[in-house]
Amino acid sequence: MPIWARCGRIMRQLLKFLHTMGAIGMMGAMAALLVLLLFTPEPSSLAEYAQMRLAMGALAEWVLLPSLALTLVSGLFSMAYTSGFHNAGWVWVKLATGVLMFEGTLMAVQGPAQREAALSKRALAGDFDPSMLGRAVQAEWASLWVVLGIAALNVALGVWRPKFMGSRRSRRSPRTGT
């Protein structure tokens, strides 16, 4: 096998590996956030609540966000690099849901986790009314499930690669060419 063919295969495998590792980290972080949210004490227990929210903010910042970035960047590079993906309908659906996941993660998961962590830290310092904490827990819970569902859909699209528009081959018979 020529060197350029081997390099191409290695690049595709590297991009697939990075994309998979990013997806594992991202979905794992979202699952961990769901568990932590489930066990978060009431804001009336301010010290424990703040500690849990700070942990959730750190998880969102240090695991979720980098994993999301790795998944998106490697997916885009893979789509650009692999010519077989250019006309595959499942890839374009995956791109569209990837954009939804990116927006949803930043706006409905990352943002609220960071905001509540900062507010609980301020409440501990006496700069914020603790009764204002924890008001968006149901929205966070729902957002995490929605984004996790979109991520699972993206994994399913990548694994099963369903045939959508643009991914059909010519209907000619392979033997006769007609």
Query: How confident is the model over 6-24, as pLDDT tens digits?
Result: 788 899 999 999 999 999 9
Task: Tell which wins on pLDDT, 160 or 174.
Answer: 160
Which runs of consecutive H residues, i.e. helices, occur in the chain?
Answer: 3-38, 46-59, 65-81, 89-104, 111-125, 137-160
Phi-psi region of 42 (alpha: psi -120 to 50; beta: other; left: phi over 0): beta
- What is the structure's pLDDT at 169? 52
Task: Give residue 163's pLDDT band: very low, low, confident or very high (50, 70, 90).
Answer: confident
Taking the C-alpha atoms of residue 120 and residue 63, their distance in angstroms, rounded to an integer, is 21
- What is the structure's pLDDT at 3? 75
- What is the structure's pLDDT at 7? 86
- What is the structure's pLDDT at 177? 52
Task: Tell which wins on pLDDT, 36 or 83.
Answer: 36
Cβ contact 133:123 at 8 Å: yes
Q: Which residues contact 78 (CB under 8 A, 6 or more apart)?
A: 12, 15, 16, 19, 85
Task: Give residue 4's pLDDT band: very low, low, confident or very high (50, 70, 90).
Answer: low
Cβ contact 19:78 at 8 Å: yes
Residue 92: which of 149, 28, 166 has the closest Cα? 166
Which residue's entry shows tokens 């980098």?
A: 66
Mean pLDDT of the residues in the chain: 90
* Three-state DSSP state, 134: coil
Taking the C-alpha atoms of residue 158 and residue 148, their distance in angstroms, rounded to an integer, is 15
With 80 as the cut, is the pLDDT of residue 164 above it?
no
* pTM (2 d.p.): 0.85
Residue 109: which of 77, 76, 46, 67 has the closest Cα? 67
With 60 as the cut, is the pLDDT of residue 91 above it?
yes
User: How confident is the model over 72-90, as a mean pLDDT?
Assistant: 92
Q: What is the pLDDT of residues 121-133, one digit of tens each?
A: 999 999 999 999 9
